Amino acid sequence: MFEQLGLIGCGLMGSSFALALKRAGLVKRVVGYSKSPSTTERARQMGVIDVEAPSALMAVSGADIVLLAIPVSATEATLKAIRHLVGPHTLIMDVGSTKRDVVDAARRVLRENVGAFVPCHPITGKEVSGVENADESLYAGKQLIITPIERTFTVQLKKAIDVWTALGCHVMQMSPQAHDAAYAAVSHLPHLIAFAMINGIKSQEHGKDYMALAGPGFRDFTRIAASDPQMWRDILLANRDELLAQSKIFQQSLQSLEELISSGSGDALQSLIGQVSETRASWRISSPKTNK
Amino acid sequence: MFEQLGLIGCGLMGSSFALALKRAGLVKRVVGYSKSPSTTERARQMGVIDVEAPSALMAVSGADIVLLAIPVSATEATLKAIRHLVGPHTLIMDVGSTKRDVVDAARRVLRENVGAFVPCHPITGKEVSGVENADESLYAGKQLIITPIERTFTVQLKKAIDVWTALGCHVMQMSPQAHDAAYAAVSHLPHLIAFAMINGIKSQEHGKDYMALAGPGFRDFTRIAASDPQMWRDILLANRDELLAQSKIFQQSLQSLEELISSGSGDALQSLIGQVSETRASWRISSPKTNK
């Protein structure tokens, strides 16, 4: 049970965390801060936070658990703003989709207290953002990746695991490097591709007409193209090396397929699609249920 | 009301059509044929068809409505097999995802009776195939594209529109060329990309581990990668020119995005993603309800 959550960032991820923590009876009071005062006010009106803080530092004052739920590029500046109130007994976590850049920022800013910072990435989200879409069930049944570093305090790591587990997450640990390599392949690249494909269609004269004819396959394939622009700008830039490496592998694979199509190599094409189809058909999304 | 449906191909699309037609009370008897006798038998056992035909020709014998529900590459051979029983009073339709190749085959084979053939493409499907997954609601509320040619008989066109409308489809007409250009962009390209991406991931040493970490975005983005290999081999080959042109536009768009990422052009990147996100967020799948 925590006394006070200091919530920095009252968007979808942060607000949903606050609601989930409250519902689980794990926190007495939530003090929240958002860059936009109207968002902070709205979060209080909705009961997501109990008290509006006028600054990130004030949100951390008195908190024994702090969540940074902000674009990853804002991590360093935010940690600088709050570091004077971060002691070894505070649990600080983030929910960023990239981890090497976040961990590097934490090392630079928090120094001897970096062990209080537990880098987290919940594998969940929505294509709508903002406190208005806060959902106390956003984290239930989802994967939660923790990427501790060698200096992470074991006591804070344990607390972080416990709190996410209490919210219904399946917690996994890996290095920030392994995290960023994996999510470049299975999350950042799909987003980049979806952005590029919609951009390619809408640049065409008849692009709008084409989209009007699209069906359920297109709907699901492009769902992630409606994601938050600032958040995804940050992710694509923060993980650019791994992402561009994955994009290269993808483009080579695409060119192999194009060659089979150009040359009319039906058998080889069917065999390749068959292997892909089998791989995808036998894949299951990971969840606490299926992993236990 | 039709006397007899001659169903050639008892897979997902054909079986679902037969069930829907029966449920709507639009047909007295269904005679079915599949390349694999065990499939035909299963279709009869399941009540999808009433009589098993030993050949495509025998399925057409006595039929006043014929549906070809076969891979598009099989269209020409199938039309050749049945053309002796195709008269100007038979309504023949297909459900292929490409239309220029199908129309060309029909012209070559049916000649003076080509007007009886009404080329159709229902914008629906599943990532599971076969008669086992037949679903009488597969077509309800979906778009149905008809691509008549100048020689299509008006009476058969009218019948085709009526029958699909009775099954709950929203029927649209366009030229085979316009159809293939549009679906290259919004269906065939997404499939090609999804196949290429899964192929690229599974070619990597840690590909399996990466996929085990993937979340809901990956699930939806790659759903179409589990599609039927033979059907998609045919589609990618049949519409190769339009598809490769769309793939080129996509790759140029991807490269533009990569350049913004490489050069760290955050503002331009966010602006581009913002436009894409808005385009996708305001898109709605077309359906009878939203189009009326």
Q: Rounded CA gap, B221 and B224, in Å?
A: 8
Q: Are B91 and B160 in contact (CB under 8 A)?
A: yes
Q: Where are the domains of chain A?
A: 2-175, 178-291
Mean pLDDT of B256-269: 98
- Any chain B CB within 8 A of the CB of A213? yes
Distance to chain A for B56, nearest Cα, Å = 24
> Are domains B2-175 and B178-291 of this chain identical in fold?
no
CB pair distance less than 8 Å for B269 and A204: no
CB pair distance less than 8 Å for B220 and A220: yes
A245 token code pair: 């490496």
Mean pLDDT of A203-229: 95
CA atoms within 13 A on the CB side of A134: 26
Mean pLDDT of A202-227: 95
Beta bridge partners of A68: A8, A94
CB pair distance less than 8 Å for A220 and B217: no
pLDDT tens figures, A152-204: 999 999 999 999 999 999 999 999 999 999 999 999 999 999 999 999 999 99
Site of tokens 């098993």: B52
pTM of the model: 0.90
pLDDT on residue A87: 85
pLDDT on residue B87: 85
pLDDT tens figures, B151-198: 999 999 999 999 999 999 999 999 999 999 999 999 999 999 999 999
Taking CA atoms, A52 is separated from A10, A43, A70, B137, in Å, by: 10, 8, 17, 51
Cβ-proximal residues to A44 (8 Å cutoff; 6+ apart), any chain: A32, A50, A51, A52
Q: In terms of Cα–Cα distance, which of B279, B58, B14, B221 is closest to A221?
A: B221
User: In chain A, which among 124-153 make CB contacts under 8 A with chain B?
Assistant: 124-125, 127, 142-143, 145
Distance to chain A for B290, nearest Cα, Å = 11
Mean pLDDT of B207-211: 96
Q: In terms of Cα–Cα distance, which of A115, A27, A121 is closest to A65?
A: A27
Strands (E), chain A: 2-8, 27-33, 51-52, 65-68, 91-94, 117-118, 120-122, 143-146, 170-173
pLDDT on residue B127: 74
Distance to chain B for A255, nearest Cα, Å = 8
Residue B292: band (very low, low, confident or very high) from pLDDT cuts 50, 70, 90? very low
Q: Are B224 and A192 in contact (CB under 8 A)?
A: no
Residue A289: band (very low, low, confident or very high) from pLDDT cuts 50, 70, 90? very low
pLDDT on residue B287: 64
Site of tokens 């009476």: B155
CATH top-level class of A2-175:
alpha beta
A229 token code pair: 């622009």
Taking CA atoms, B7 is separated from A18, A55, A244, B17, B59, in Å, by: 57, 69, 49, 9, 7
A172, A212, A240 ranked by CB distance to B286: nearest? A212
Q: Rounded to 10 degrees, what is the CA torsion of A223, A225, A230, A235?
A: 90
Mean pLDDT of A254-272: 98
User: In chain B, which among 84-113 make CB contacts under 8 A with chain A?
Assistant: none
Mean pLDDT of A206-231: 95
Residue A292: band (very low, low, confident or very high) from pLDDT cuts 50, 70, 90? very low
User: In chain B, which among 185-204 make CB contacts under 8 A with chain A?
Assistant: 185-187, 189-204
Asked if residue A287 has pLDDT above 70, the reply is no
- Any chain B CB within 8 A of the CB of A264? yes
A39 token code pair: 């968002």
A189, A206, A216 ranked by CB distance to B285: nearest? A216
- Whole-angstrom Cα Rg for chain A: 21
Distance to chain B for A236, nearest Cα, Å = 7
A203 token code pair: 């640049």
Q: Rounded CA gap, B141 and A285, in Å?
A: 29
Distance to chain A for B167, nearest Cα, Å = 17
Q: In terms of Cα–Cα distance, which of A138, A137, A122 is closest to A172?
A: A122
Q: Does domain B178-291 have CATH number 1.10.3660.10?
A: yes
pLDDT on residue B232: 96
Q: Are B9 and B34 in contact (CB under 8 A)?
A: yes
Averaged pLDDT of chain B: 95
Asked if residue B291 has pLDDT above 60, the reply is no
Q: Are A145 and A172 in contact (CB under 8 A)?
A: yes
